[in-house]
């Protein structure tokens, strides 16, 4: 059995695949990894490039063609096809640090935690990269999830490796034809996670600055329905949580869902203010409150957006208009290097 399956979301990434393969197919690592290129209906040469590597490395690379279904559909397909002990979702325009990957694989030989956490790099167009890291975890230690939950703010997409059987046995399935499903991948498996291990390696290189992936008003408005869909899915998931779930685990899930709901609140404020959008804010706030007062209250714990949320709520939504003006003004000044979470439709 392979140690680690990389499920690569590949939609029109012909420009980036060679670098990804170059970093994954290190001779020290290749025998221990499985690379699934999930071609999501690409119209460029993504499939042809993947086929070339599949021919050269048939024991490690496999091309899986499918109709376009979005980022979530590539992960769903990858989970179904994965044969490795552990599973890592990877975007086709990112890459890995080969040395760090090979070192991590040495630990995975004997690892048995449900989740493996690592650090990662943010990589910029000028070649500069910054390390994003966990500061409160001891490398190599196996933690109970309840021990980790108070020590980390959030286990994001770029940091998490799941045990494959955990995803398969619990039928983890993300929304398809939808952006922002990384929130689902980070939350839906948590009820089933008992143990977590951290290794102090930064092997995921997260590419920043690609055109069309900025957190721009246009992008947020275009995919607002997707943001709502994910919020609704997570709230329904929360409704079905077991009463026996530990308090640290329940709070971690509440915090994660609240984070996405706060993101959606800000997305609504990105539109030109109107009576219609004011009602949308009120209706969404009511939806969250009806599902969970805990999540509703937790939405007020996320910095400047939460400060606006508090003001809007406490004014009885009378201050929706100035709040929307503030968000639109701030959004207009953001750098194009700020990217959305790289979910694709």
pTM of the model: 0.92
Which residues of the chain fall below pLDDT 50? 213-214, 333-345
Tokens of 154: 């959030």
C-alpha 72/C-alpha 53 separation (Å) is: 24
Q: Which residues contact 100 (CB under 8 A, 6 or more apart)?
A: 118, 201, 202, 203
DSSP string of 141-182, one letter each residue: -EEEHHHHTTT-S---TTTEEEEHHHHHHTT----SS-S-TH
Place of tokens 């993947």: 50
Where do the H-state alpha helices sit in the chain?
Answer: 17-24, 46-56, 71-81, 98-108, 145-148, 164-169, 182-187, 217-222, 224-239, 247-269, 275-291, 293-298, 303-314, 320-332
C-alpha 285/C-alpha 324 separation (Å) is: 15
Q: List phi, psi (to 5°) of 63.
A: -90, 130
Residue 260: which of 95, 279, 291, 247 has the closest Cα? 291
Contact 9, 38 (CB under 8 A): yes
154 alpha-carbon distance from chain centroid: 11
Place of tokens 């709230």: 235
142 has which bridge partners?
Answer: 197
C-alpha 255/C-alpha 234 separation (Å) is: 12
C-alpha 37/C-alpha 65 separation (Å) is: 8
**Mean of the per-residue pLDDT values for the chain?**
93
Q: What's residue 342's pLDDT?
A: 43
């Amino acid at each position: 059995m392979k140690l680690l399956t990389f499920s690569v979301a590949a939609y029109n990434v012909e420009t980036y695949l060679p670098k990804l393969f170059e970093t994954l197919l290190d001779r020290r690592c290749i025998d221990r990894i499985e690379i699934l290129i999930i071609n999501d209906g690409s119209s460029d040469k993504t499939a042809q490039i993947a086929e070339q590597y599949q021919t050269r490395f048939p024991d490690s690379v496999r091309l899986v063609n499918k109709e376009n279904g979005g980022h979530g559909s590539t992960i769903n397909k990858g989970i179904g096809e994965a044969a490795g002990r552990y599973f890592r979702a990877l975007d086709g325009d990112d890459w890995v640090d080969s040395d760090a990957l090979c070192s991590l694989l040495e630990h995975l030989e004997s690892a048995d935690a449900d989740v493996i956490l690592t650090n990662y790099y943010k990589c910029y167009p000028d070649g500069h990269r910054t390390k994003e890291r966990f500061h409160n975890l001891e490398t190599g230690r196996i933690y109970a999830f309840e021990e980790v939950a108070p020590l980390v703010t959030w286990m994001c997409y770029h940091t998490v490796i799941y045990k494959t059987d955990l995803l398969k046995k619990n039928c983890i399935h993300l929304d398809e034809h939808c952006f922002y499903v990384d929130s689902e991948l980070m939350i839906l498996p948590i009820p089933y996670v008992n143990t977590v291990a951290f290794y102090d390696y930064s092997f995921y290189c997260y590419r920043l600055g690609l055109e069309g992936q900025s957190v721009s008003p246009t992008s947020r408005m275009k995919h607002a329905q997707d943001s709502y869909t994910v919020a609704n899915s997570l709230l329904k998931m929360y409704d079905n949580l077991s009463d026996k779930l530990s308090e640290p685990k329940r709070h971690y899930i509440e915090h994660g869902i609240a984070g996405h709901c706060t993101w959606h609140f800000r997305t609504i404020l990105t539109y030109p203010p109107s009576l219609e959008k004011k009602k949308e804010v009120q209706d969404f706030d009511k939806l969250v409150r009806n599902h969970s007062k805990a999540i509703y209250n937790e939405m007020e714990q996320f910095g400047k957006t939460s400060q606006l949320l508090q003001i809007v709520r406490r004014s009885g939504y009378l201050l929706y208009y100035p709040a929307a003006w503030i968000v639109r003004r701030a959004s207009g000044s953001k750098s194009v290097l700020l990217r959305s979470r790289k979910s694709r439709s």
